[in-house]
Amino acid sequence: MRAPDRPSTFTSDSARDKYFAVYGRAVDELWRVPVGAIDVETRAGSVRILRAGPAEGDPVILLAGAGGNALAWYRYIEPLARMRPVFAVDPLGEPGRSVQTQPLTTGAEVGGWLTDVLAAVSAERAHVVGSSYGGWTAVEQQLGGGGRVAALTLVDPAGFAPLTGRFYRWLIVGGTAALLPRALRRRVAGAVGNGTLREDALMKLMAAGRSFRRRLPIPPAYTDEQVRELSVPVQVLLGARSALHDAQAVAARLAEIAPSWRVEIVPDTGHALPVEAPDLVIERILAFPGRARAEIATPEHSTDRS
């Protein structure tokens, strides 16, 4: 597939302004702690960050998946900010307040803008939390030698198995269901395996973002050698019913090639794991990397939603 040759952008100034208005209302509605907005310049554009928590300490960096931004983490900010500085990022190339100015054609380029963000916020030992495409971005930043990271939490991340027709069907079905009236949309969320459909404010944001043209590289599957290159502590949380990959197969592969990683399959969740089990994910973020030993938790042994 041809690499993107243009930056991601809104189709018009009016479409962008409409999205920003919805974005602003969502911040007011969802954010439950004082938050400051900062913009940092990177090699590929300006990145908007919503910051909360104490002024000092090793930060938690939150990276949403494809089509998402900082607001996807609204349930996470208050509990995480009690303990650590929190930086929720609008990723470059996704709908949000960040502005991409250069094409991003490779994983190295995607990871590069994240390295610039970490440098701009003076992070030296960040705990980077990435969901789906955000998980792939976090891994690419490390494979590119970006440093500045003490631990990775990858929440149903892309890049650990080839993308299949099952995942693209899940995307299409979810996008179609998002157009349904609110009550019906919320009722079908379980049937289509997408808890995000129950998130009314995020659905309004998604609707406003249909005018955004996303041009980013598709994550290929990592080789065993690439996985072994990661030297920081890593934990991987997988949705048991994820449409992105076979969670059991991914867990088994990682147990063999990266036995020091902590891998957990979370029952009764799918690819929308961050919104389907936020309390569990928050608990795992705060506890990691406290455990030194490798741990593989299967659906029979992993802790269900906290």
Q: What is the pLDDT of residue 1?
A: 54
Contact 261, 293 (CB under 8 A): no
CA distance 74 to 297: 27
Q: What is the pLDDT of residue 5?
A: 86
Our CA angle for 174, 178, 183, nearest 5°, is 120
Our CA angle for 62, 64, 70, nearest 5°, is 65
Residues 6 or more apart whose Cβ sits within 8 Å of residue 86: 51, 52, 53, 59, 60, 62, 76, 77, 80
Q: What is the pLDDT of residue 290?
A: 76
Tens of pLDDT along 172-221?
999 999 999 999 999 999 999 999 999 999 999 999 999 999 999 999 99
The parts of the chain modelled with pLDDT lower than 50 are: 291-306
Contact 271, 156 (CB under 8 A): yes
Residue 136, classified by CB atoms within 10 Å of its CB into exposed (0-12), middle (13-18) or buried (19+), is buried
Q: Between 182-192 and 165-177, two packed helices, what is the crossing angle to 10 degrees?
A: 160
The architecture that CATH gives domain 9-165+212-287 is 3-Layer(aba) Sandwich (3.40)
Across the chain, how many H-helices and E-strands are there? 11, 12
Q: Which amino acid is at 208?
A: A
Q: What is the pLDDT of residue 32?
A: 84
Q: What is the pLDDT of residue 118?
A: 98
Residue with tokens 């104490």: 54
Tokens at 35, concatenated: 């938050």
Tokens at 265, concatenated: 């399959």
**Hey, where are the domains in the chain?**
9-165+212-287
